[in-house]
Homo-oligomer: A and B are copies of this chain.
Amino acid sequence: MSARTSLAALNAAPPEAFAAFAAELFEGAAWVGARAAAARPFASVAALHEGMMAAVAAAAPEERRALIRGFPDLAAGLGALAPDSAAEHAGAGLDRLAPDEAEAFARFNAAYRARHGIPFVLCVRRHGREAILDSFAARLANAPEAEEEAALREIGYIARLRLVDRIEGPGLPQVAGRLSTHVLDTHAGRPAAGVALRLYAVGRAGRTLLDTRTTNADGRTDTPLLSGAPLRTGRYEIAFDLGPYFRARVDAAVATLFLDTVPVRFGIDEPEGHYHVALIATPWSYTVYRGS
């Protein structure tokens, strides 16, 4: 990946340099940058991204299909991939699939190309591995026209993330989501401090531990559970250890607490969204809600 540049530098760059920059974002399609160059200067990085997507939208239908065809199949081997695609695939774990998963991807890729005439394009940085397979299945069934549109939308996501990776400074589009939590103890009427919690990704085969934390004096974690990048869509669980927290407030004769580890399962659907999972608890009740 190139070293970081700035919006000012891009606005001032010779057209050929600007086109070469865009080619990295659009899997080699330098023409996107060549056409967007005329609309410079852009007031913000978000406007720059919109300018390039406008060039894509204004292109001839066959140009757009060629752009889509320039993207690689998912999980088809990293040898032939451009550096960005290779890193993106690896980030989603597509470079180390189990044999049956790899076979599923191969089967999906072939079926998708046969039905829609284009590769399956998905911004994998925004999705968990199972969500990628679910998305594959859902989009395979769509009408071909809808899929061309879907592929271009995904290319927009891919290019936006690649763009943000390359630029320093303000004016960046919002690409990072956030997952946070808060535990309130309404038995004592204060934030629940010192509650151990674990974050898991939940898949069909079970849970994968992502993080372990303890709530601070305000009942929150010192930093968000996930942030700084798009959240990956999929299902998650936070397991809150309320048992040790409340133990001293329950009759010592009670050997088996009503609430011990409280699992809260939830889905993330918007990779750029803010998911605040709040827990309000007593030893005998709790409320979970998506807060803000």
Contact = CB atoms under 8 A, between A and B. Distances in A.
- Interface residue tally on A, bucketed by range: 35 or more
Interface string A159-186: 0000000000000000000000000101
Interface string A276-291: 0000101111111111
Interface in A235-281: 235, 254-263, 265-269, 280
Contacts of A254: 269
Given A135-B255, A255-B138, A285 B292 contact: no
Interface string A117-150: 0000000000000010011001000000000000
Contact of A280 (B131, B135, B138, B285): B285
Contacts of A184: 289, 291-292
Most buried by B among A138, A265, A289: A289
Number of copies of this chain in the oligomer?
4
Nearest to A277: B258
A273 to B, nearest CB: 10
A234 interface: yes
Interface string A209-239: 0000000001100000000000001110000
B256 A269 contact: yes
A254 B291 CA distance: 18
Contact of A292 (B218, B234, B235, B268): B218
Contact of A269 (B234, B258, B269): B258
A255 B233 contact: yes
A255 B269 contact: yes
A256 B267 contact: yes
A272 to B, nearest CB: 14
Contacts of A267: 256-260
19 contacts: A135-B255, A138-B255, A184-B289, A184-B292, A186-B187, A187-B187, A188-B284, A189-B258, A189-B290, A218-B292, A219-B292, A234-B256, A235-B256, A256-B267, A258-B290, A259-B266, A263-B263, A285-B290, A286-B287
- Shortest 6 CB-CB distances between A and B: which pairs? A189-B284, A285-B289, A256-B267, A186-B285, A256-B269, A287-B287
